[in-house]
Structure 1
């Protein structure tokens, strides 16, 4: 049997801590702040719009509140950076950056796995 590497031990410890945070907080540990669905991207939020004209419970825009990593899992076609720049991370490990004060197209055929709001 091969001994556990230092990296594997570290990764296992981190995964356990994240799992405990999810149980205690009752939500995704990766989400640094909250968010809400809306018919528009509200200032000063970072927002992503669902692709192909789809709607969330309150509209097509997911408004992210707060800095850091926000866990998501869906297809989006445009990003809007009203407050801070952010990085959109895809399932195939590619990413796009939306710079402060801009908006840009996203890959609507690639599932977004997280958004990192850069504050």
Structure 2
């Protein structure tokens, strides 16, 4: 009787450990290279703010398409430029942050310089 209880405990522990490992691996790989909304700008990202708690974290160097209105930008590292309809733009220097889009134009893309 004792060996059955012990075998069940070992099987349960193994199953839970495997589930935790698989779950954590899937989550980590999903975040790598993805564009995502957050309540803040992650370190190392170029970010544009829709509201104070809706921050678009851009993942990559080069062109990142967007289609919304943004009012603030932060560069944790690389410089970037936000382009609006009519080819107007705002530049954000490396390791800086500033207000953008004074004329409330639709942003169409962000070029991150690496």
Specify the alignment match of 1:112 in structure 2: 107
**Shift of residue 96, structure 1, vs aligned partner:** 0.7
Once residues 80 and 34 of structure 2 are traced to their aligned partners in structure 1, the CA distance between those partners, rounded to angstroms, is 15
| Greater Cα radius of gyration, structure 1 or 2 | 2
Question: Structure 1, residues 67-96: CA drift from partner, whole Å, max 9, x if none?
Answer: 110000000000100021000000121111
Distance (whole Å) between structure 1 residues aligned to residue 34 and residue 80 of structure 2: 15
TM-score (norm 2): 0.67
Partner of 2:25: none
Structure-2 residue corresponding to 1:34: 34
How much has 1:102 moved relative to structure 2? 0.4
**Aligned residue pairs, count:** 81
Give how far 1:66 is off.
1.4
For the 8 Å contact 1:92–1:110, the answer to whether it is kept is no
Partners of 1:81 and 1:34 lie apart in 2 by: 17
TM normalised by structure 1 equals: 0.64
5+ residue gaps, structure 1, are 1-32, 54-58
- CA drift at 1:61: 0.2
Q: Which runs of 5+ in 2 are unaligned?
A: 1-32
CA-based RMSD of the aligned residues comes to 1.4
Post-superposition shift, 1:111? 0.5
Matches within 5 A, 1:44-63: 44-51=44-51, 59-63=53-57
